[in-house]
Amino acid sequence: MTKNFVKIGQRIVGQVRFVPTLSSWQDTSDVSKNFEKEFEHWRIANRQDVTLYSPDEYKLFQILYNSISYVNEKEENIEELSANLQKAFNLMNDDQKEFEHLGFRNIQIFGTKFDFNELVDLLYSKIYMNDILQISSDKVNDVLFSINAVKDGINNNVILGPVTKEEALQRFNSQFDVKKSIDKIDDYKSYIFLDVDTYIKSEKGIEKIDSLIGKNLEIVTSYLEYIVK
């Protein structure tokens, strides 16, 4: 962003959920074999749920009887996320698949050189300057922006706000070693948490994952540009 806002942590998540069938209960292991070479380890739970993961790469790929999920906390590898989700979904239960949810979530943490109260004042002035807020506030101690909306036919949830170090780690909720995943967190005074989730429901078409990713990145960029301008 700028010298005042530095991205120090990011997690991208892609997920497709579908109505399970008897076939999908049997397909998880067979489908997972197609991705085994891309991940260092694997584990099976409940006799059919498969999770492939690479601790050094901070990524995992989970294939369940009713959903497929990709998580990456090291890099914004949207190409791998999209390709793996589409390939696994097309292999899983190929005879009949009924969509329930398709989504892409982008969680980012930015370190800042501002004191926490300075960061609160900055975001308050950017987002919440409105007469109605004077009803309950002479002085703002904290602030959080949250919205559920639809943009160009795509649902999105956005959460944006200042956080302390402890809140940043808690909200990020790392699937791996959080100290390594966000190794520069001690270098900053305060942090910005940004969580953007784009999704569609009850609409067939795994190929729409790329549209969700594109809209998500557009929303993220627009919010960040608005904050720093």
Q: What is the DSSP string of 3-16?
A: TTEEEEEEEEEEEE
How far apart (Å, rounded) are the C-alpha atoms in residues 41 and 123? Answer: 42
Predicted TM-score of the model (pTM): 0.91
pLDDT band at 103 (very low <50, low <70, confident <90, very high): very high
| Identity of the amino acid at 171 | R
Q: Residue 4 is encoded by which pair of tokens?
A: 């005042």
Q: Residue 203 is encoded by which pair of tokens?
A: 């609409």
Provide the edge-to-edge strand list for the sheet that holds 41-45: 41-45, 49-54, 59-63, 67-72, 5-18, 99-112, 190-201, 154-163, 145-151
pLDDT digits (tens, 9 = 90+) for 140-179: 888 889 999 999 999 999 999 999 989 988 888 888 876 6
3-class secondary structure, 228: helix
Under a CB-based contact definition with an 8 Å cutoff, are residues 85 and 101 in contact? no
pLDDT band at 67 (very low <50, low <70, confident <90, very high): very high
DSSP for residue 207: G
pLDDT score, position 182: 74
pLDDT score, position 127: 83
Under a CB-based contact definition with an 8 Å cutoff, are residues 9 and 182 in contact? yes
In the predicted model, what is the mean pLDDT of residues 58-68? 94
Q: Residue 42 is encoded by which pair of tokens?
A: 């694997």
Angstrom CA distances, 29 to 18, 33, 130, 180, stand at 17, 6, 55, 31
For residue 30, count other CB atoms closer than 10 A to its CB: 12
